[in-house]
Amino acid sequence: MNRAHKQTGYQGRRLFLLMCMGLAAMLLVWKAVCLQVLDKEFLLTQGQARHLRVVDLPAHRGMIQDRNGEPLAISTPVESVWVNPQELADEQQRIPELTRLLSLKHASVKSTLASRADREFIYLRRHVDPALAAEVEALDIPGVYLQREYRRYYPDGEIAAHVVGFTNVDDLGQEGLELAYEDWLKGEPGAKRVIKDGKSHIIEDVESISRPSPGKDLRLSIDRRIQYLAYRELKAILQEHKAQTASAVVLDVKSGEVLAMVNQPSFNPHNRQNLRSNDMRNRAVTDVFEPGSTMKPFVVATALQSGRYLPNTPVSTAPGWMRVGVNTVRDVHDYGQLDVAGVIRKSSNVGMAKIALSLPAEEIWTQLSDMGFGVQTFSGFPGEASGLLPHYAGWNAIETATLSFGYGVSVTPLQLAQAYAVLAADGVKRSISFLHGAEAAEEHRVMPARIAQQVRSMLEQAVGPDGTAPLARIPGFRVAGKTGTVRKSVAGGYSDNQYLSVFAGMAPVSDPRLVMVVMVDRPANGKYYGGQVAAPVFARVMAGALRLLAVTPDNVPLLQTRRGDGEEPA
């Protein structure tokens, strides 16, 4: 009886256990049905809310190229390190390891994370090298991630820095043509929906929302070969003469395109930690100066158009000075009797003052205004200055006289180059462009061709053996140009020992192709005349540019010894 009772109890417990196991199995089956059938949509929604994300697809910025397709600015893919402070909060002991790798100050990073603990995204370091990015990823620290971005690279460095400009860390244009053509160059980022795991790693692409649209390429008028020539020579002359700054512009006469534009000192667009704002300024476009004697050809053009003068009309400059009211205009020498061409050749201030004072002020002002003085060239470069050309209604005798040899008026190197391009183009003024072949240059006639050719002939004499700029001559080519030696304006008047050295010229004279302006500010090594300092830069750069462009020589080789004559600062 006792054995039967025990057997019955054992079977009861066995049955109970089986019932429990069956019930558990049924519960598991029911739970599976609920998860996979009844609550499927809810659970999918909750899972997606936790792991389905929309991420940006970065778009690279358009390339900037020179006129021959050579790269001047390129965007390269890089990684940036970012953190989620909420996830990183449990990994405090690993932060020193991360900061050491990224060369960051531990205390500063810790303070930043503490002050922004409620955020989910903080950049730790932007644009790291691929090798460093791989090391960060290998640390596998929860809350530390990489993000693909683009960094701008400038193959020519400081050679074209002032023209091309640069972008900031977000790849947005900040200076130069990078800024001017921001809307053209910038790309439009895309987006895609992805699934991320618990460590925010993308494990599956779900769908593409929008495709990234890269920025459009920009082809400049700059010829990087000529740009390098100008950069090299300008840097050398700055060092040789211990000058403060210098600028140079090379224009294509036929199209109005800027082939080279250089300033010294320049800057490295890849290293801007200690960069000063003055170093970034494209002084050839944004800074103005009094042009001195380089203004004389345009006043002479006005005189020739008036009909009162011919190239051989005599002008007396004796005794080498003249009184204008209470002021005195002087020449460096007493040149005696000159003709109009001789006034240009010898750069006589007295001769120019006499010519200007014999003309109606309105005619001079109109001619200078038509040449582009006092207004922007509308090249599209950011921050372009308009210069200064006072209205003739306010001129008195001494202002008229001094304006004839380039005082009381201010220009940019680009403006002066455009004006000389008018003389080179037989009196046709063409719009200035930094883009290659974008559209036909706007042009209109501002001077009769005959007058422009006569002035050009005078400028060729100025580069001759008896002129002020024989050092501007180029073997095999006829050259025309004009020097300027300008006293620097200081408080209370003009300095007696600070000068601007200027040269503006063109070649070849028979069919001008290129115009170049060189300006050197405050040379301090004993020489300061435009014919001594600026003219040799013109000769070296222009010779190389003509050769690179395969321009046919129009003169037998020059065998004469070249020397720089002096001129009265003007």
CA-based nearest residue to 349, from 202, 154, 484, 205: 484
293 is catalytic: yes
Taking residue 324's Cβ as centre, other Cβ atoms within 10 Å add up to 18
| Token reading at 18 | 């089986």
How far from chain centre, in Å, is Cα 264? 13
Strand ranges inside 141-237, DSSP E: 144-153, 166-167, 173-175, 190-196, 202-210, 218-219
CA-based nearest residue to 198, from 87, 289, 99, 66: 87
Contact call for residues 75 and 60 (beta carbons, < 8 A): yes
Q: What is the largest CA-CA distance in the chain?
A: 157
Catalytic residue among 75, 247, 293, 404: 293
Contact call for residues 519 and 247 (beta carbons, < 8 A): yes
Q: CA 266, 424, 237 angle in degrees (round to 5)?
A: 30
**Dihedral pair phi/psi, residue 302, rounded to 5°:** -65, -40
What is the residue whose two structure tokens read 């060189």? 518
Measured distance CA(180)–CA(206) in Å, rounded: 38
| Token reading at 568 | 């009265």
Alpha-helix runs per DSSP H in 259-338 = 277-280, 283-286, 296-306
Residues 6+ apart with CB under 8 A from 93: none
Contact call for residues 145 and 128 (beta carbons, < 8 A): no
Taking residue 77's Cβ as centre, other Cβ atoms within 10 Å add up to 11
| Token reading at 69 | 């397709």
Measured distance CA(347)–CA(331) in Å, rounded: 8
Question: Cis (ω within 30 of 0) for the bond into 569?
Answer: no
DSSP category for residue 1: -
Bridge-partner residues for 480, per DSSP?
506
Measured distance CA(346)–CA(500) in Å, rounded: 19
Catalytic positions:
293
